[in-house]
Structure 1
């Protein structure tokens, strides 16, 4: 049977409850110096705040080599009463040292499979999805390398592949590669950040292909998100693609946490949910937050 692989073990899709389908509790990158998410106490408080407004699960997209702190996640999940899904995968090259990339050269798919089936390091925590990334309107060789490895790991395990789209661009190139050339079923692909490039034609084409569309990071004022997202989501729902939609917060720096003065994870349910309910109705928004993530991240694990 299909199951979502959480840090505490596999659960049925319907057990996720209300799901933040793309966020981060821990994250470290040379691109974000001094802004690391690396405070376990703050992560615990953020999860508690999310739980207090009705949150039931968080899918953490932090991949390999970016400070996931996988060993800390089970205790955080138990304490908060929130299901957590951890990622394997690899981000853009700019987020890593050349030495780290060289360490996994030639064995990247093997690393992904091991973290999905055996565990991340000595933590005992198994990853529940593969996260990779495209570039701005293009896929460079690094992106193609990571996506080939992701596809190989997907075929070996059944895991969903979640893709960071740089500024929301390159969705169709990603689908051409993963689904057209590498044989991944579109329904096993989650495209992130489409709200950052609010092109209704591209969004419709991606949904028609069968991929999941994640509208994440809605609180960022420098992206065209808050005021355009309801119209985009309504257009997709009206076109019959309500079952392809996901919502997330994508908290990537410490100052964005609600416990540090930012919107954080609770914003998704405090502000985004009621705003979308005005456009779509409570019933559809509830399904987007509960049923859709369960289908998107569940797998028939191999």
Structure 2
């Protein structure tokens, strides 16, 4: 079993404490005009990762896809400069960004492209993806998004790589799970994202019962939900026996969220401040660190099929 990073395959035990859904480097399309969303400075991206490493961090998953301006070669340079493992994604974001590309491709074509990016490299760089991304819009997928999910299942079958998803405000997570598992993807190879944007405990318990990994990946964003409320939901799920399925991250995809851009709280927040907040609600450091260390190891490790 290996974890596929932008600098090559490593043993799962080498990952260290891992943030499972971030955006290290991105050049969004021209119609995304907010400069706060342009994370296009390699030195600043490396500085942010160095700050995370100095706080005890080991790895970050970059969920930026082709339609949102990913750059695999830049990720490799950033990872090397910072001394932090980076896992890159193949696949597509939601249709708002991806339809312009995915609409021109067949399901088989999308699957073949994803498979190639895991096996051979992203956009001819030789830097290989370590996970597959599929996304749906509010309350469910459009036709193109559904085909991306179908292709992701095919690419998973061909490569063994895990699948990580975007839900819009946590909606249609149950549909994502039903579609992917119905196509043969084991629930334990799926990370469903942004579930803390739908803080309905009954809904989350239903999703947890399926066996998928659950992304609580909007930490520090009080405009959506207080971190204390996120932690309370996680505590309930841990009490139910689902602590091994929780993934913690921030999706800090704006300059204003990152200390290297003179914003905050930055990646180091997850190691310098968040553990105390978890402890205040009865989740001790060993349990918290397990969610950042052991759960990512199990999700992102796979046996390459070729």
TM-score, normalised on structure 2? Answer: 0.93
Instruction: Give the Cα separation in 1 of the matches to 2:277 and 2:243.
Output: 16
User: Does residue 110 in structure 1 map to residue 112 in structure 2?
Assistant: yes
The residue aligned with 1:45 is: 47
1:221-240 residue CA offsets vs partner (Å, 9 max, x unmatched): 22124121111110011100
The residue aligned with 1:16 is: 15
The residue aligned with 2:296 is: 293
- In the alignment of these two chains, the number of paired residues is 299
Change in CA separation of 1:142 and 1:226 when aligned onto 2, cut-off 3 Å: same
Where structure 2 has 5 or more consecutive residues not aligned to the other structure, the ranges are: none
Instruction: Give the Cα separation in 1 of the matches to 2:72 and 2:115.
Output: 16
User: Does residue 281 in structure 1 map to residue 255 in structure 2?
Assistant: no
1:17-63 residue CA offsets vs partner (Å, 9 max, x unmatched): 11111111112243453231111111011111111111100011112
1:175-199 residue CA offsets vs partner (Å, 9 max, x unmatched): 11111x2111000100111111101
Instruction: Give the Cα separation in 2 of the matches to 1:14 and 1:88.
Output: 23
The list of structure 1 runs, each at least 4 consecutive aligned residues, that deviate by more than 6 angstroms after superposition, is none
Where structure 1 has 5 or more consecutive residues not aligned to the other structure, the ranges are: none
CA RMSD, 1 decimal: 1.5
1:123-157 residue CA offsets vs partner (Å, 9 max, x unmatched): 11000001111221222212211100100000000
The residue aligned with 2:199 is: 198
The secondary structure found in structure 2 opposite 1:228 is helix
TM-score, normalised on structure 1? Answer: 0.94
Change in CA separation of 1:172 and 1:65 when aligned onto 2, cut-off 3 Å: same
Greater displacement, 234-243 / 224-233: 224-233
Instruction: Give the Cα separation in 2 of the matches to 1:69 and 1:194.
Output: 27
Check conservation: 2:95, 2:136, Cα contact below 8 A. no
Greater displacement, 270-279 / 44-53: 270-279
Of the candidates 90, 93, 110, which is equivalent to residue 95 of structure 2? 93
TM-aligned CA deviation for residue 96 of structure 1 = 4.0
Change in CA separation of 1:166 and 1:32 when aligned onto 2, cut-off 3 Å: farther
The residue aligned with 2:156 is: 154
